[in-house]
């Protein structure tokens, strides 16, 4: 854009001249600057900074601030779409104080001062550069922009006395003091009059020109105090004839903010006047244009001067153009874009017509002669006009119309160029075209930076111009149809007044969003794109230009001899243009344009487009010979194309890169690119492929090749990064292998692509397969030289052709030798990669430790004298990055997406040796895709473990388990065994234990040093016959021999299965090594544990004894126990209150059942009374029962103590249980004890499974206070000393003790009860007396309601209802006289006693264990207890039953 005259290109604004703000020097300086500005590419420079004026007086400083404020928005250059008042209003020209507008020409004519007039720019003036037929000159625009303003503002200052202070006139000061009457100082008036005259003069000149004039008076500080200042200002204004409004301003001293506000307001107020000025100008020129003769009429007069000579004057059409252009220019200044574009388009149309051979508008007039000065001027003008029109359409948000105008311009001028003999085969045309694109790109760039939004041509949001628009468009173009543009009228889809798009509107049936009318469409050529595309286009033109120029230079190499004009194409250029073109660096220009485009695309986030541009830049660099630059570009962009699989592009880039690298002598790069070029993914012809291959081979193997002047550094290529011509894979035959055993693996090397992908055999020097364990690395080497083709190695080779014609070769390489130096396994093998073949090398590796073997890397190497090229195929690292790499491309077969597990199987015919073995690929693991991986596990143990035991086991016993271990290995080994009893619940400390020697354990148990152990470590196994020992030297177990070990498991309490794990450990020495590998075998089994005994107890109250003792006591102590003295119980050391003491005797009948399936020998059964065991057991029992008893006691002690924690001990609640009689009859030999006799022990008869034994014990329960007694009393438990009975009589286990808990005893509650005292029998009709005793064993006074219910067989006389009160621990007796009426068992009248609970007694104030329910009206019946007198066995136990009966004998039965 900057190559055009800036006047034509910049955005024009109304001009405002402000005078008086710059000094003379500044103004003259400004004058100097302005002309240079014309050719300068930058917008008008700001005036001199005020900083230089800092030394000036206050007024000067104010002025400079004002000037600065006025100029601050003077920076508009090419683009200003702010429209009017919102933007920068004026283009401000500062002038010196004495400036006045140049007088009009008419005024000069009138005053005969025409010689003073400015140089005329009209073509009519001979002095003008346009004389005689020029169209318009930029000077004209500059004059209007910089010399003829629309507004003239004169800044003046009022004369001030202060200014003469210091001069000789000091004395006048007193005289001129203003009096109170406001006498005017004549000196001031003098100055003011001069000022007013001056302003008047300027106003008049301005008026003549129609220019708005305004004056600004700047006051000084001293003026502010002057009372006469108002008068003075008024005087000046009136004298100068200035309007108060919008023509006369006063600026008092202010700060910079106020001044800049003033500046803005000043401009605003002048804006309207400025608009009027330009409106007048447009009107004036319109009038002038209408005064022109008609174009058709001008034909004849036009011819007349033509005959007169070469001086041809400007045609009418030219004048029309001038006026149109001027009107456009004034409209633009007026910011009337709509009209400006109209005038400019009209002017453009006229101008274009003038380029034609003969004009159509003024028929017959010849067009501009090519390559003349006027022609060149007009061409520039046309370009600028087009640019301006485009810009204005962009202002109007009609991007397609703008683009339409731009493209039309190109098409029109292409047609003209042909006729000017500078068609598209000339560099001049391409230079011009490139310039056009570039300028348009610049325009878009400037526009988008200033806020212009590019349209988004996506369907749905926009409905495109329809056919209606298209026809309008063609009409529009018809204006130019006569200019021979050819078929340019084919139609653009643009209406003349609108844009091709209708935003948000609807055309036809189409609606935004989904459906479109049938006519909806868009001309893609009219879709405005961002500047990047235009820069790119321009760059393309630049390339074309260079090519044309090079052709031209070839044809006309001499820069001093002009080319001879010919009439054949290509037309020769002129010497001048040739020489001008020679000075141009085309390549630099192309790169500059491409870079510009690149930046645009980058800004629009089109990453891939930038790659394309980068490739073009790189190509240009290559052409320019900057190979290093080019190579850098190619390398950078190649990555993306490779990654995304654009192989055609990649091939092209590689070809370029190879060329660059060769030029630079980067042979390593050449080799790398050639190797990638060998990949079948790179599209190429077969000959090309062959040449690539040959080139690679010749570089690698030819010593005299220019590449091989010296040895190259080792070149390592990571193949997954590039396209490979071979694929590599390693497969293990099995997924799992044992330590020290050989496992087979196959290394597969396959050519990629089909037939012809690899033209010839490619020989590798070595293949290195690296595993995660570096000691397993394998290296296959081919030591042959290139020309040696026969295979020398003696390895087994097989080869077939499969169905696709692929050669599959199999080499058996399982016998490698270990190279101690390189720490790898090495073998020599022929490593030719043949075309369309798969090479499979089978090897074997023997891992020596437990691990997971993975393939880390496969390296294919080519080693020659000068080269060491390694093609690396890493596998592990890449596989770990799988997630990201997995989505990548097919040229990375080892990454993320591993190949199917494939194994080349060799099937040999078993007997027939003549037929060759068959090779076939088989899928392993059903063809799962998995990275090669070999899990090496320790060798399988060949030890056999058996366990022998008799399940289920009993709790508490030492349960023998026999573990038998057989050495199944091939050589004797010494074995150790660990046995572990796994706890049932890891959170609870287990009491279970596992021992080797139960007798010893029992002893330590009795000594109190026993530690319950769940694990037995390091049991050394020896032959079954030899005794087991922990300490003996480790003995080898012979092959096939059994070792045996018995362990004893003692489980307590919980009858669940236990898991026992035994581990057998031993070391096996490897065959070839001194190292030993430890092997372990585990065996786990479960043993069910059940309790050995089950006991059930019946408690029978022994009332007989109770009554006995009662009777004796009662007889002794009368009926008032409460009066008895307290007795101190000697035995228990407790104080008993006789009144509260309650004693009962029970017969305990215990049935013990052997629950389990095994017979047991029971040595002793003993009832341990709970209270005894708690307090006295330790000493007394130990003393009595000996060691055996203690074992159970202690072990049981844990659990009992636990129980004690939960419940209050019996003693605490005052209960004493005494064993009165132990009738443990039924045991063998009665209750006799055989502790000291071995024989007798074995003689004990075993209890078979299901055997039941009954034991009777008589116990007395003495409750100190029944109220406090719990409901259930744990009487005690049975201590059974027993052992498992072996049928062979050989009992190895010692006797153990099991404590069998017994059901608790239920104590009667302390509640009132009745006893009945009846005669033995009664006789009919003979009255008898029944005596009811009511006992109150509680500590409360009871209130009882008694009712007697009559009985059928008995007559009762007495109180039927009564209320009784019984004191605590008192008895009350009731006597009933009854008269039986019938014989037999007869019910007595029922005595019903009900405790009156409505009066709750809280006398004792204790929380009773009898819950009281005060609200409850439920009656509590007092029961009859122990009605034993009644006859009949069926009632024997129903003493507490409902009815009390008596046997009544018939009367006859009486003795009387």
Partner 1 sequence: MANINISCIAIIGKQNNPLFIKNFNPSHADLKYHYIAHTSCDVMEERATMKAQDMYLGVLFSMEDLSVYGYMTNTKIKFITVLTVPDVIIKDLDMKNIFRRIHAAYVNHASNPFYEIDSEKMIKSKKFEQEIEAIGRGRALEGGNRNSLPATAP
Q: Which residues bind partner 1 (CB under 8 A)?
A: 407, 456-461, 464-465, 467, 470, 490-493, 513-516, 518-525, 527, 529, 533, 536-537, 540, 605-609, 611-612, 615, 641, 644-649, 652, 887-890
Q: How many angstroms separate the Cα of 72 from the Cα of each of 46, 201, 218?
A: 8, 29, 20
Q: What is the DSSP string of 524-575?
A: GGGS---HHHHHHHHHHHHHHHHHHHHHHHHH---SSSPPPP-SSSSPPPPH
Nearest distance, CB of residue 4 and partner 1, angstroms: 25
Report the alpha-carbon distance of residue 1388 to residue 803 in Å, rounded. 116
Nearest distance, CB of residue 676 and partner 1, angstroms: 17
Report the alpha-carbon distance of residue 667 to residue 202 in Å, rounded. 81
Count CA atoms closer than 13 A to 324's CA, side-chain side: 19
Cβ proximity of 1358 and 1376 under 8 Å: yes
Q: How many angstroms separate the Cα of 745 from the Cα of each of 356, 508, 843, 854, 875?
A: 84, 73, 5, 11, 16
Q: What is the DSSP string of 1298-1326?
A: EEEE-PPEEPPPS--EEEEE--S-EETT-
Task: Give the nearer residue to partner 1 in terms of CB position, either 887 or 914.
Answer: 887
Report the alpha-carbon distance of residue 1448 to residue 1442 in Å, rounded. 19
Nearest distance, CB of residue 510 and partner 1, angstroms: 9
Task: Give the nearer residue to partner 1 in terms of CB position, either 515 or 734.
Answer: 515
Q: In what order do the strands lie in the sheet with 1042-1050?
A: 944-948, 958-966, 1042-1050, 993-995
Task: Give the nearer residue to partner 1 in terms of CB position, either 310 or 487.
Answer: 487
Task: Give the nearer residue to partner 1 in terms of CB position, either 514 or 1411.
Answer: 514
Report the alpha-carbon distance of residue 851 to residue 773 in Å, rounded. 9
Q: Which of 58, 42, 53, 33 is nearest to 9 (CA)?
A: 42
Nearest distance, CB of residue 689 and partner 1, angstroms: 17
**What is the crossing angle of helices 256-290 and 58-71, to 10°?**
50
Nearest distance, CB of residue 401 and partner 1, angstroms: 15
Task: Give the nearer residue to partner 1 in terms of CB position, either 236 or 878.
Answer: 878
Nearest distance, CB of residue 632 and partner 1, angstroms: 20
Other C-beta atoms closer than 10 Å to the C-beta of 973 total 24
Other C-beta atoms closer than 10 Å to the C-beta of 639 total 14
Task: Give the nearer residue to partner 1 in terms of CB position, either 444 or 860.
Answer: 444
Task: Give the nearer residue to partner 1 in terms of CB position, either 628 or 881.
Answer: 881
Nearest distance, CB of residue 640 and partner 1, angstroms: 9
Task: Give the nearer residue to partner 1 in terms of CB position, either 220 or 615.
Answer: 615
Nearest distance, CB of residue 357 and partner 1, angstroms: 25
Other C-beta atoms closer than 10 Å to the C-beta of 589 total 21
Nearest distance, CB of residue 390 and partner 1, angstroms: 17
DSSP 8-state class, residue 1396: -
Task: Give the nearer residue to partner 1 in terms of CB position, either 490 or 1033.
Answer: 490
Nearest distance, CB of residue 799 and partner 1, angstroms: 29
Task: Give the nearer residue to partner 1 in terms of CB position, either 315 or 537.
Answer: 537
Nearest distance, CB of residue 615 and partner 1, angstroms: 7
Nearest distance, CB of residue 648 and partner 1, angstroms: 5
Cβ proximity of 648 and 683 under 8 Å: yes
Nearest distance, CB of residue 649 and partner 1, angstroms: 5
Nearest distance, CB of residue 608 and partner 1, angstroms: 5
DSSP 8-state class, residue 1227: B
Nearest distance, CB of residue 973 and partner 1, angstroms: 55
Task: Give the nearer residue to partner 1 in terms of CB position, either 538 or 1177.
Answer: 538
Nearest distance, CB of residue 50 and partner 1, angstroms: 49
3 state SS for 68-128:
HHHHCCCCCCCCCCCCHHHCCCCEEEEEECCCCCCCCHHHHHHCCCHHHCCCCCCCCCCCC
Task: Give the nearer residue to partner 1 in terms of CB position, either 130 or 470.
Answer: 470
Q: Which of 1260, 1228, 1232 is nearest to 1244 (CA)?
A: 1228
Task: Give the nearer residue to partner 1 in terms of CB position, either 148 or 527.
Answer: 527
Tell me the residue ranges of DSSP E strands in 846-997.
851-863, 868-874, 902-907, 918-923, 933-937, 944-948, 953-954, 958-966, 973-982, 993-995
Report the alpha-carbon distance of residue 330 to residue 343 in Å, rounded. 10
Q: Which residues are CB-contacts of 652 (< 8 A; sequence separation ≥ 6)?
A: none
Task: Give the nearer residue to partner 1 in terms of CB position, either 465 or 1214.
Answer: 465
Nearest distance, CB of residue 646 and partner 1, angstroms: 5
Element (H, E) at 1142: strand 1142-1154
Report the alpha-carbon distance of residue 1028 to residue 1021 in Å, rounded. 7
Q: Which of 939, 1072, 961 is nearest to 1016 (CA)?
A: 961
Nearest distance, CB of residue 534 and partner 1, angstroms: 11
Q: Which residues pair with 1278 in a beta bridge?
A: 1167, 1300
Q: Give the CA dihedral 1181, 1184, 1185, 1191, nearest 10 degrees.
A: 40
Task: Give the nearer residue to partner 1 in terms of CB position, either 614 or 1145.
Answer: 614
Q: Which residues pair with 151 in a beta bridge?
A: 16, 212
Token pair for 488: 């340019």
Task: Give the nearer residue to partner 1 in terms of CB position, either 531 or 953.
Answer: 531
Token pair for 283: 């009107």
Report the alpha-carbon distance of residue 671 to residue 677 in Å, rounded. 10
Cβ proximity of 689 and 756 under 8 Å: yes
| Residue that the structure tokens 């062959």 belong to | 690
Task: Give the nearer residue to partner 1 in terms of CB position, either 604 or 1449.
Answer: 604
Task: Give the nearer residue to partner 1 in terms of CB position, either 500 or 1297.
Answer: 500
């Amino acid at each position: 854009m900057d190559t055009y005259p800036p006047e034509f290109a910049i955005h024009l604004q109304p001009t405002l001249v402000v005078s008086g703000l710059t000094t003379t020097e500044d103004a003259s300086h400004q004058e100097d600057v302005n002309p240079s500005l014309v050719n300068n590419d930058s917008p008008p420079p700001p005036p001199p900074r005020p900083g230089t004026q800092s030394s000036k007086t206050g007024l000067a400083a104010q002025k400079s601030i004002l000037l600065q404020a006025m100029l601050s928005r003077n920076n508009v250059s090419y683009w200003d779409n702010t429209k009017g008042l919102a933007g920068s209003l004026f283009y401000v020209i500062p002038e010196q104080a004495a400036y006045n507008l140049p007088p009009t020409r008419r005024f000069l004519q009138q005053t005969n001062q025409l010689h003073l007039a400015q140089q005329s720019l009209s073509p009519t003036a001979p002095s003008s550069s346009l004389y005689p037929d020029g169209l318009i000159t930029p000077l004209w625009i500059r004059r209007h922009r910089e010399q003829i303003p629309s507004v003239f503002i004169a800044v003046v200052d009022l004369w001030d006395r202060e200014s003469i202070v210091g001069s000789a006139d000091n004395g006048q000061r007193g005289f001129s003091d203003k009096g109170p009457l406001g006498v005017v100082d004549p000196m001031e008036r003098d100055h003011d009059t001069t000022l007013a005259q001056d302003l008047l003069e300027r106003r008049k000149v301005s008026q003549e020109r129609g220019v708005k004039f305004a004056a600004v008076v700047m006051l000084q500080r001293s003026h502010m105090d002057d009372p006469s200042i108002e008068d003075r200002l008024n005087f000046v204004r009136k004298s100068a004839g200035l309007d108060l409004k919008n023509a006369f301003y006063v600026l008092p001293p202010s700060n910079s903010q106020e001044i800049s506000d003033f500046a803005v307001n000043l401009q605003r107020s002048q804006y309207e006047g400025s608009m009027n000025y330009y409106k007048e100008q447009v009107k004036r020129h319109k009038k002038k244009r209408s005064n022109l003769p008609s174009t058709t009429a001008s034909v004849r007069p036009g011819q007349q001067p033509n005959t007169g000579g070469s001086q041809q004057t400007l045609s009418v059409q030219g004048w029309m153009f001038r006026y149109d252009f001027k009107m456009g220019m004034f409209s633009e200044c007026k910011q009337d874009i709509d009209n400006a574009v109209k005038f400019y388009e009209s002017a453009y149309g006229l101008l274009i017509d003038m380029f034609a051979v003969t004009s159509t508008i003024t028929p017959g007039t010849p067009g501009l002669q090519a390559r003349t000065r006027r022609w060149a001027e007009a061409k520039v003008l046309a370009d600028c006009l087009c640019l301006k029109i485009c810009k204005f359409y962009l202002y109007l948000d009609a991007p397609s119309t703008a683009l339409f105008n731009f493209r039309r311009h190109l098409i029109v001028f292409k047609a003209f160029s042909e006729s000017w003999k500078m068609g598209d085969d000339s560099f001049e045309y391409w230079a011009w075209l490139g310039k056009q694109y570039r300028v348009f790109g610049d325009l878009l760039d400037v526009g988008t930076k200033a806020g212009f939004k590019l349209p988004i041509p996506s369907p749905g949001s926009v409905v495109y111009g329809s056919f209606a628009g298209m026809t309008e468009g063609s009409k529009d173009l018809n204006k130019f149809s006569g200019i021979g543009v050819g078929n340019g009228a084919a139609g653009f889809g643009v209406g003349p007044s609108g844009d091709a798009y209708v935003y948000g509107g609807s055309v036809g049936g189409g609606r935004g969003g989904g459906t479109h009318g049938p006519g909806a469409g868009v001309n893609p050529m009219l879709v405005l794109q961002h500047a990047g595309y235009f820069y790119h286009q321009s760059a393309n033109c630049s390339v074309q230009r260079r090519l044309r120029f090079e052709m031209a230079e070839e044809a006309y190499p001499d820069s001093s001899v002009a080319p001879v004009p010919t009439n054949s194409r290509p037309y020769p250029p002129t010497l001048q243009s040739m020489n001008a073109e020679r000075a141009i660096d085309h390549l630099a220009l192309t790169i500059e344009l491409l870079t510009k485009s690149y930046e645009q695309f980058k800004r629009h986030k089109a990453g891939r487009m930038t790659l394309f541009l980068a490739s073009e830049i790189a190509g240009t660099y290559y052409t320019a010979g900057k190979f290093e630059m080019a190579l850098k570009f190619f390398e950078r962009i190649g990555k993306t194309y490779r990654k995304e699989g654009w192989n055609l592009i990649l091939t092209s880039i590689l070809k370029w890169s190879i060329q660059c690298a060769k030029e630079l002598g980067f042979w390593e790069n050449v080799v790398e690119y050639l190797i990638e070029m060998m990949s079948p993914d790179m599209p190429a012809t077969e000959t090309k492929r062959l040449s690539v291959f040959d080139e690679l081979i010749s570089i690698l193997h030819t010593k005299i090749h220019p590449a091989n002047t010296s040895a190259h550094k080792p070149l390592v290529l990571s193949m997954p990064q590039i396209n490979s011509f071979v694929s590599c894979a390693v497969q293990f035959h099995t997924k799992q292998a044992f330590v020290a055993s050989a496992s087979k693996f196959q290394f597969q090397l396959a050519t990629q692509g089909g037939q012809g992908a690899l033209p010839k055999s490619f020989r590798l020097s070595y293949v290195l397969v690296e595993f995660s364990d570096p000691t397993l690395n394998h290296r296959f080497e081919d030591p042959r030289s290139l020309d040696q083709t026969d295979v020398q190695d003696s390895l087994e080779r097989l080869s077939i052709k499969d169905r696709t014609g692929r050669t599959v070769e199999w080499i058996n390489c399982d016998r490698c030798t270990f190279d101690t130096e390189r720490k790898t396994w090495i073998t020599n093998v022929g490593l030719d990669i043949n075309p369309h073949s798969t090479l499979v090398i089978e090897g074997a590796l023997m891992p020596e430790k437990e691990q997971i073997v993975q393939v880390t890397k496969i390296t294919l190497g080519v080693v020659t004298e000068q080269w060491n090229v390694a093609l690396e195929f890493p596998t592990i690292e890449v596989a770990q990055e799988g997630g990201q790499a997995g989505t990548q491309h097919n040229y990375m077969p080892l990454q993320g997406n591993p190949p199917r597990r494939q194994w080349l199987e060799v099937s040999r015919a078993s007997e027939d040796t003549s037929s060759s073995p068959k090779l076939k690929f088989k899928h392993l693991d059903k063809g799962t895709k998995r990275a090669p991986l070999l899990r090496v596990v320790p060798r399988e143990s060949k030890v056999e473990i058996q366990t022998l035991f008799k399940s289920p086991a009993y709790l508490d016993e030492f349960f023998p388990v026999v573990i038998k271990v057989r050495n199944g290995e091939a050589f004797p080994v010494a074995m150790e065994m660990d046995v572990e009893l796994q706890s049932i619940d890891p959170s609870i400390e287990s009491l279970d234990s596992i021992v080797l020697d139960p007798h010893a354990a029992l002893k330590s148990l009795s000594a109190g040093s026993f530690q319950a152990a769940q694990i037995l470590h390091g049991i050394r196994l020896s032959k079954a016959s030899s005794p087991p020992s922990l300490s003996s030297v480790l003995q080898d177990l012979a092959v096939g021999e059994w070792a045996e070990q018995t362990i004893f498991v003692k489980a307590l309490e919980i009858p669940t299965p236990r898991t026992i794990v035994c581990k057998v450990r031993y070391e096996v020495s490897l065959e070839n090594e001194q190292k030993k590998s430890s092997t372990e075998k585990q065996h786990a089994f479960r043993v069910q544990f059940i309790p050995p005994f089950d006991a059930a107890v019946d408690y029978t109250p022994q009332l007989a004894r109770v009554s006995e003792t009662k009777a004796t006591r009662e007889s002794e102590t009368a009926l008032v126990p409460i009066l008895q003295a307290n007795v101190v119980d000697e035995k228990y050391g407790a104080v008993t209150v006789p009144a509260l003491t309650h004693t009962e005797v029970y017969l305990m009948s215990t049935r013990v059942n052997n629950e389990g399936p095994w017979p047991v020998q029971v040595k002793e059964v003993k009832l341990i009374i709970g209270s005894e065991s708690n307090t006295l057991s330790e000493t007394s029992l130990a003393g009595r029962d000996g060691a055996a008893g203690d074992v159970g006691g202690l072990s049981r002690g844990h659990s009992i103590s636990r129980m004690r924690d939960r419940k209050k001990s019996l003693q605490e609640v005052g209960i004493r249980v005494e064993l009165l009689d132990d009738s443990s009859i039924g045991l063998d030999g009665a209750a006799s004890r055989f502790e000291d006799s071995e024989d007798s022990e074995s003689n004990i008869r075993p209890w078979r499974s299901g055997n039941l034994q009954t034991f009777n014990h008589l116990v007395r329960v003495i409750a100190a206070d029944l109220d406090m007694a719990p409901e259930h009393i744990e009487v005690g438990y049975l201590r059974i000393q027993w052992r498992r009975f072996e049928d062979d009589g050989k009992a190895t286990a010692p006797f153990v003790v099991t404590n069998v808990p017994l059901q608790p005893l239920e104590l009667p509650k302390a509640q009132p009860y009745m006893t009945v005292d009846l005669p033995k029998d009664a006789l009919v009709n003979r009255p008898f007396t029944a005596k009811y005793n009511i006992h109150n064993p509680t500590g409360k006074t009871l209130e009882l309601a008694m009712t007697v219910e009559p009985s059928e067989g008995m007559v009762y006389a007495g109180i039927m209802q009564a209320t009784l009160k019984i004191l605590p621990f008192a008895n009350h007796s009731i006597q009933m006289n009854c008269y039986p009426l019938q014989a037999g068992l007869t019910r007595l009248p029922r005595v019903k006693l009900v405790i009156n609970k409505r009066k709750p007694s809280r006398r004792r104030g204790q929380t009773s264990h009898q819950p009281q329910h005060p609200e409850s009206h439920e009656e509590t019946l007092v029961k009859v207890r122990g009605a034993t007198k009644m006859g009949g066995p069926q009632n024997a136990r129903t003493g507490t039953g409902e009815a009390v009966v008596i046997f009544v004998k018939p009367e006859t039965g009486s003795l009387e």
